[in-house]
Structure 1
Amino acid sequence: MKRNRSGPERAALALALALASCAMESKPPAGRGGPPPPVPVRVGRAERKSVPVRLSAIGTVVPIRVVAIRPRVGGQIVAVEFEEGQAVRAGDVLFRIDPRPFEVALAQAEAAVRRDKAQLAYRRAETGRYRTLVEREMAARDQLDQARANLATLEAAIAAGEAGVAAARLNLEFTTITSPIDGRTGSLLVTAGNVVSAGGDKPLVVIHQLRPIHVSFAVPERELPEVRVRQAEGPLRVEALPRGATAPSRGRLAFVDNTVDPATGTIRLKAVFDNEDESLWPGQFVDVVLTLGELAGVVVVPAAAVQTGQDGRTVFVVGAGGVVEVRPVRVSRMDEREAVVDEGLAGGETVVTDGHLRLRPGSRVKVVTGEPAAGGRGDGSRGAPGGREEQRRRGTGAAPADAASGAPEPAAAGPGGGAAPGEAAALENGAAEVATRR
């Protein structure tokens, strides 16, 4: 049997439906609950100043002179006069070879010369007598010629004997092996008691000159014109920092190779260092900085502010009210710390250095300070997506502004933004109950 509702019941039902309808209409759509919160970023300032023009490279320490000590005469080594790794000076005795065979050879050569010189006086007198006899026509001309030939032969023999004496004396001197340079000895490769041959393939020891010393490094061929121009103006300063060292060694550019390596597109340079403290060691890898000069009055920003994308290099500039804009820039030089901006920025402007990922043109930002936490730098940091580490990992540089994640999170309904979630739920439940009763 159909029940007729009374007037009060119909009024209550109408009121519940009206309240539920108002609650549904006042509930904001997802993602449209007001402006998004400011994006936290770290910033730096574009400064106009003078900056040095530097080229950085990895170099290798190479000695200016390397001498492999080999014997010049053969014999038995009777003494080693140095310790492995010892610093030596030019002329210091290194090895002694048994001199006795060479002393005997010298004595024989000297005796042969004395014998020939004793015959020399007789041959000269004989030649004089034959000359007189020929002038008096008491001897034949050929006898005088023979006497002169005998004299010349003896004089040549004496000259050869004297050369033999000099050679024997030189060989005797070679039994004492000395260092030809100042430097430091390496490993001892032949010990006392061994018999060595003259000019053997195996050196006795290798000496490296350490003071002064060279550092060899390569720079891109595009830098060659400026290097040559700057070098013609005066000596170029070079700094070399060994791994683990706290202070660099300072030297000057000494050599520019005459050929560009076509395989690598680089050119080889060498710098010379006094190396008085021997902080540079042969074979060592060092960080090299070549200073070419100075750029005066240029705009400089932190390198972290420069983003590289498909449209080139850009920076996020913080304007009035904390609103950012994307600004294309032209960068002429850049290292791990700073970038020189030729076009696109003015001195004094504020640029974003960290937190780029969530930014897009027109985003509002909140400047945060302090160092990033370990393992990351927050939103858009070097250790988080959008930072320079993430950009290098993706291989695409900074994300373009229109691809950056900038959509705000849906705003929660609350005071001033429609009915609260609990209130709306109560209204909906009331409407459902009234409908059921119907």
Structure 2
Amino acid sequence: MTRTLITALAFALALGGCAKRERDAAPRNPTPKVSIVTAVREDVPITLAAQGNVVAINQVQIRPKISSTVRSVEIREGQDVRAGQLLFTLDAREDETVLTRSAALIRKIEADLALAQQTLDRNRTLAASGFLSPSAVDTTQSQVAALQAELAAARSERATNQVKVSYNRIAAPFAGRAGAINVHPGSLVQPGSADPMVTLAQLDPIQVEFTAPERDLPLLLATQTRGALTARVRLADGSERTGKVVFIDNAVDPDAGTIRLKAEFANADRQLWPGLFARVEIDAGVEQGVVVIPAEAVLSGPERRFVYVLQGDGSVRDQQVEVVRVVDERAVVNRLTPGAVVVREGGQNLRPGMKVAPVRPAGRPARGAGA
């Protein structure tokens, strides 16, 4: 029993010695290497990006102005139509009959008026010769005036009936593309029906509606006063199309803190379709003398954004920054002094006060913010 105990103690002492030698031989944690860059002051082109929706400049639901029956449908679903092109024809027989009656009434009144005018001229001649009393002339003249008033009223009624007849021919108010047709020959249509006969949308040119933060409004207005605001939209095939901003709303949304805008683009090839999501970029001039660093140098904490600034003794300190915008992977920041050396890569595992081994990226210019 004693011999076994002595053997166990010797084995334990041997293991302890080996572990001590291994601890002594293990290297200490090396100083972390980090990529650094210098914050610089630059003039940065401002490009505002936003997600928007494609909207038609003109879109209208075609509805009848009178209650009638569809006589014929002159277009197909999805057809491109011209301005003024006939879309639907309604049953106009009743309105045409009323118009014919109005025309006949006008001809009758015109004949009566001609006869009354001849009588008035004859009575005036007789009254001048003393063969007719002046009162008879006055009576005839009153008849002429009454017939003239009836003729004016009849002509006005005929114009009204002509308008009613025109309601039976429904034409396109502008050039566009027809949607689904909801009526067929023989269908009864009414002005207050729930579904339109067809929806017509203009596709060329077309607009993209989007919003911008209210902080960018002064910049947008200043650029607009100097000329047109250039806008770009990315198409489904990856290409870009250039247009211009044509609308800036007259009020900021107080709940969202945004301003509504619209940009207009040529769309002859129908690449932009109403309702699609689209990414819009606006060239809003140049922001001069701003502090710029690489976007990857900015770290996000629970309540703030910050960067690690390299100090003279080789340690780092955290510096809170405000990111104004990101342009071409460069961050425009406030609260950072130009010339400050910040950690570009490797800051995720750092803590304030840690010593670091700074390394500038190979093949990159010293002005890292412009890289």
When the two structures are superposed, what TM-score results if normalisation uses the length of structure 1?
0.68
Shift of 1:172: 2.8
Are the counterparts in 2 of residues 46 and 350 from structure 1 also a CA contact under 8 Å? yes
Shift of 1:162: 2.5
Q: Matched residues in 2 for 1:62 and 1:311: separation?
A: 38
Are the counterparts in 1 of residues 310 and 317 from structure 2 also a CA contact under 8 Å? no
Are the counterparts in 2 of residues 87 and 184 from structure 1 also a CA contact under 8 Å? yes
Are the counterparts in 2 of residues 38 and 364 from structure 1 also a CA contact under 8 Å? yes
Amino acid at match of 1:248: E
Structure 2 residues without counterparts, runs of 5 or longer: 1-9, 362-371
Paired residues for 1:26-425 under 5 Å: 27=20, 35-39=28-32, 51-198=44-191, 202-241=195-234, 245-295=237-287, 300-309=292-301, 313-316=305-308, 325-326=316-317, 328=319, 330-331=321-322, 333-335=324-326, 337-341=329-333, 343-346=336-339, 351-364=343-356
For 2:366, the equivalent position in structure 1 comes to none
Q: Matched residues in 1 for 2:202 and 2:294: separation?
A: 42
Aligned CA distance change for structure 1 residues 35 and 318 (closer, same or farther; 3 Å): farther
Shift of 1:128: 1.6
Aligned CA distance change for structure 1 residues 297 and 276 (closer, same or farther; 3 Å): farther
Q: Matched residues in 1 for 2:259 and 2:330: separation?
A: 25
Q: Matched residues in 2 for 1:193 and 1:217: separation?
A: 43
Identity %: 33
Amino acid at match of 1:63: A
Are the counterparts in 1 of residues 233 and 279 from structure 2 also a CA contact under 8 Å? yes
Q: Matched residues in 2 for 1:106 and 1:155: separation?
A: 20
Worse-superposed segment, 32-41 or 331-340: 32-41
Shift of 1:350: 7.0
Cα displacement string for residues 99-134 of structure 1 (whole angstroms, at most 9, x for unaligned residues): 333332232222111112222221011112222333
Paired residues for 1:12-27 under 5 Å: 27=20
Cα displacement string for residues 53-96 of structure 1 (whole angstroms, at most 9, x for unaligned residues): 12222212222111121223432212111121222110111111
Q: Matched residues in 1 for 2:303 and 2:62: separation?
A: 61
RMSD: 3.8
Q: Matched residues in 1 for 2:348 and 2:126: separation?
A: 118
Are the counterparts in 2 of residues 41 and 356 from structure 1 also a CA contact under 8 Å? no
Q: Matched residues in 2 for 1:31 and 1:174: separation?
A: 101
Aligned CA distance change for structure 1 residues 334 and 130 (closer, same or farther; 3 Å): same
Aligned CA distance change for structure 1 residues 238 and 157 (closer, same or farther; 3 Å): same
Amino acid at match of 2:108: R
Worse-superposed segment, 352-361 or 41-50: 41-50
Q: Counterpart of 2:44 in 1: which secondary structure?
A: strand
Are the counterparts in 2 of residues 63 and 282 from structure 1 also a CA contact under 8 Å? yes
Q: Counterpart of 1:191 in 2: which secondary structure?
A: coil
Q: Matched residues in 2 for 1:56 and 1:162: separation?
A: 60
Shift of 1:234: 1.0
Q: Matched residues in 2 for 1:200 and 1:153: separation?
A: 44
Amino acid at match of 1:280: L
Shift of 1:214: 2.0
- Asked which structure has the greater CA Rg, the reply is 1
Worse-superposed segment, 36-45 or 337-346: 36-45
Aligned CA distance change for structure 1 residues 156 and 239 (closer, same or farther; 3 Å): same
Are the counterparts in 2 of residues 303 and 334 from structure 1 also a CA contact under 8 Å? no
Q: Matched residues in 2 for 1:51 and 1:276: separation?
A: 34
Structure 1 residues without counterparts, runs of 5 or longer: 1-16, 370-438
Q: Counterpart of 1:91 in 2: which secondary structure?
A: coil
Q: Counterpart of 2:177 in 1: which secondary structure?
A: strand
Q: Counterpart of 2:252 in 1: which secondary structure?
A: strand
Are the counterparts in 2 of residues 299 and 346 from structure 1 also a CA contact under 8 Å? no
Aligned CA distance change for structure 1 residues 326 and 279 (closer, same or farther; 3 Å): farther
Cα displacement string for residues 23-51 of structure 1 (whole angstroms, at most 9, x for unaligned residues): 98x94998996541354667778677653
